[in-house]
Structure 1
Amino acid sequence: MGILHRSSVIKRPIDSMRVILTTFVGVFLGFLIGISFPLLSLTKLGVPPGLVLKVDQMYNTDMKSGGSSQTPENVAFDRRSGSGELNGSSEIWVPSNPRGAERLAPGIVAADSDFYLHRLWGDPNEDLPRKPNYLVTFTVGYNQRDNIDKAVKKFSENFTILLFHYDGRTTEWDDFEWSKRAIHVSARKQSKWWYAKRFLHPDIVAPYDYIFVWDEDLGVENFDAEEYIKLVRKHGLEISQPGLEPVKGLAWQMTKKQDGLEVHKHTVEKAGWCTGPNMPPCAAFVEIMAPVFSRTAWRCVWYMIQNDLIHGWGLDFAVRKCVEPAHEKIGVVDAQWIVHQGLPSLGSQGETEVGKAPWQGVRERCKKEWTMFLSRLANAEKAYFKSLENHHSNISVPL
């Protein structure tokens, strides 16, 4: 009886331990089964399970510190979504996606970008209480800082300010409060159109309704950017520029400010300069010092800019090809005018060659690029129309 009594006393704690152990093992196995589903799905996407667990740990640490309001279920992947397979296939091919992104689900493709500044902290959805509708770029040297300061102040907070620095000096501009909100791009001894080709791709500037591509030597005392935009919209201009006050000699009559007008689209030039009343430089013409492009027009003009012809000479005669009818959609805004100061600042960035001043070498390059561009344009169009002739001549007409 004593032995039986002792064994019964020992048996009860052993049974209790078994129940506890069984419960623990069950919970543990349930946990493993629960987390296996998202890991199986993520493995098919090429995401190592260990990496996902590490990300979860980092995210949970961030959650505890109050760094995010999202729940772990919404981070990186939806754990309820499964493998994403359709009809047994996990391959994605969407021909309508941008070239090179055909293997991505359309919902993840971010085809456009912008110059909006974002914070390094907080909710990304709350970064931009206001998104500027327009973009203005200046190609600048530090010596023209006071002139640029006056110019920038003519543009409201509805404009993103982008400075291209050809002299490599950027940090000194922080003396101006607005400079701390501007975008600064620096490359020594480069021109406005070199920058435009490399940093103003249509998909980068897509959020902006209008793009100002301006020089640094413009007097803006009689200019207001918001009023300018109103007139551009009113008169349906896709490509435009402010009228030029004839303080110094003007190269073209078309860009000269005409008193008493809001906008003009035609002018009279010297005999023989225009092949027709609706042709440059009598119409469908603006200069390259202070052009303003609509988003749609810029998408065409950007592709016309040649990668190696960095001064842009000749573009003013060709931009008409990007809008139709050009003589109605290209014009000069007289009611908001500027002064072209004609400072040879970029010319000083050249180099002395065999008895030539730096600016002389730059000017010669400009003229050479003009003839090269117009020749390329003519040859390209000739080749295109020739290909059409060959195509039509190869089509057999049934008898």
Structure 2
Amino acid sequence: MGTLGRSGIVRKPNETMRMLVTTIIGVVFGFFIGVSFPTISLTKFNFPSNLIPSLNFTYMDNAWSSVTGHRQVNSLSGVPKMWVETNPRGAERLPPGIVTPDTDLYLRRLWGKPSEDLIIRPKYLVTFTVGLNQKTNIDSAVRKLSENFQVLLFHYDGRTSEWDEFEWSKRAIHVSVRKQTKWWYAKRFLHPDIVAPYDYIFIWDEDLGVDNFDAEEYIKLVRKHGLEISQPGLEPNSGLTWQMTKKRDDTEVHKETEERPGWCSDPHVPPCAAFVEIMAPVFSRDAWRCVWHMIQNDLVHGWGLDFALRKCVDPAHEKIGVVDAQSIVHQTVPSLGNQVSRGITLV
């Protein structure tokens, strides 16, 4: 017997069931059409211009792209091109899966599997800006480093082959540009995307005595005390230096000091805190990314940079410090001391 609906029309049970099934199928079909609709480029539809003259499908396509971050740019040939705005600048046309935004300084073989190129992957990078006269001192410093360190030498005197007498030099990276200082090299060869694989970057002078320095122990203390920018404590025979960077005998690390009256407007600012000198700084990967952007292209000696480093970490008075338990001697040998440019001796 039929069922009386609100309209007063009597329907048979079979007809009611058929309508219900048809409705469900229609809803499901419409759902899938709606889900797949955004992937269809509306610019591909060809409607008669006299039928729908006012619709701008390109605008609608771009509106959807602004939401997803991906959009297709139609070339003159009609072949769609990718544009991924979240890719690094200049790589927007590439699929994200093939983009390699950074690199490294690892040495590669000319043959074999790339995965077998590195027996040990260095964790830290140490750079020295050197002249041949200091090769004995640099040899002593490098011998204090473990296999976790990649060594990079910047040669300001243009003499590189003479370093081959050291076995470690054959595994080091050598960059030779005459009469330049370490900050010139750092700006051009230590871009954050190049040194990204290294946890810490040492940017050191050539005249440092390391008899009482152990690099691995230094890293342990830096991690333990949460230092993003640091340096070893300077031993008493290091010549003229700031009070902040002098080695203390009663602590592993110190992050503040007392200077002469009136020298510090606040106990948490340089030179009383948040301060290291520029002869032997050590940067974490994240801190160096900021510092690199702060270095100006015409920076030569780096004077004043030590007072500005605090802008790259927060809170600076807690993340910048001096490691007393691992100390060095600053021998105060002028870098580029015998290099003359335009009649002026660079020191």
User: Which bin holds the TM-score, normalised by the shorter protein?
Assistant: 0.7 to 0.9
Deviation sequence 1:331-373 (CA, Å, 0-9, x none): 00000000000012423213474xxxx54xx35xxxxxxxxxx
- Once the two structures are TM-superposed, the CA of residue 199 in structure 1 deviates from its matched residue by 0.1
Amino acid corresponding to residue 215 of structure 1 in structure 2: D
Amino acid corresponding to residue 343 of structure 1 in structure 2: V
Identity of aligned residues (%): 76
Residue in structure 1 matched with residue 112 of structure 2 by the alignment: 122
Residue in structure 2 matched with residue 300 of structure 1 by the alignment: 290
Residue in structure 2 matched with residue 209 of structure 1 by the alignment: 199
Residue in structure 1 matched with residue 251 of structure 2 by the alignment: 261
SS of match in other structure, 1:347: coil
Q: Which has the higher contact order (CA 8 A, sep 6+)?
A: 2
SS of match in other structure, 1:301: helix
Deviation sequence 1:152-206 (CA, Å, 0-9, x none): 0111110100000000000110100000000000000000000000000000000
For the 8 Å contact 1:250–1:256, the answer to whether it is kept is: no
Of 144, 149, 157, the match for 2:134:
144
Within 5 A, what are the aligned runs for 1:17-56?
Answer: none
Residue in structure 2 matched with residue 5 of structure 1 by the alignment: none
For the 8 Å contact 1:136–1:159, the answer to whether it is kept is: yes
For the 8 Å contact 2:120–2:147, the answer to whether it is kept is: no
Residue in structure 1 matched with residue 263 of structure 2 by the alignment: 273
For the 8 Å contact 1:320–1:330, the answer to whether it is kept is: yes
TM-score with structure 2 setting the length: 0.76
TM-score with structure 1 setting the length: 0.66
Amino acid corresponding to residue 277 of structure 2 in structure 1: E
Q: Which contiguous aligned blocks of 4+ residues in structure 1 show a shift greater than 2 angstroms?
A: 248-251, 350-353
Amino acid corresponding to residue 88 of structure 2 in structure 1: P
Amino acid corresponding to residue 109 of structure 1 in structure 2: V
Residue in structure 2 matched with residue 200 of structure 1 by the alignment: 190
Residue in structure 2 matched with residue 288 of structure 1 by the alignment: 278
Amino acid corresponding to residue 314 of structure 1 in structure 2: G
Question: Of Structure 1 and Structure 2, which has the larger fraction of its residues in strand?
Answer: 2
Amino acid corresponding to residue 307 of structure 1 in structure 2: N
Of 96, 100, 107, the match for 2:90:
100
SS of match in other structure, 2:82: coil
For the 8 Å contact 2:253–2:325, the answer to whether it is kept is: yes
Contiguous gaps of at least 5 residues in structure 1: 1-84, 364-399
Distance 2:93 2:206 in 1: 44
Distance 2:341 2:287 in 1: 35
Distance 1:185 1:249 in 2: 30
Distance 1:138 1:249 in 2: 20
Distance 1:102 1:312 in 2: 36
- Once the two structures are TM-superposed, the CA of residue 298 in structure 1 deviates from its matched residue by 0.1
For the 8 Å contact 1:243–1:256, the answer to whether it is kept is: yes
Residue in structure 2 matched with residue 348 of structure 1 by the alignment: 338
- Which stretch shows the higher mean deviation, 221-230 or 89-98? 89-98
Residue in structure 1 matched with residue 160 of structure 2 by the alignment: 170
Within 5 A, what are the aligned runs for 1:323-342?
Answer: 323-342=313-332
Distance 1:126 1:344 in 2: 42
What is the Cα-based RMSD across aligned positions, in Å? 1.8
Task: Tell me: CA distance 1:257–1:236, structure 2 relative to 1, closer, same or farther (3 Å).
Answer: same
Residue in structure 1 matched with residue 143 of structure 2 by the alignment: 153
Task: Tell me: CA distance 1:276–1:138, structure 2 relative to 1, closer, same or farther (3 Å).
Answer: same
SS of match in other structure, 2:323: strand
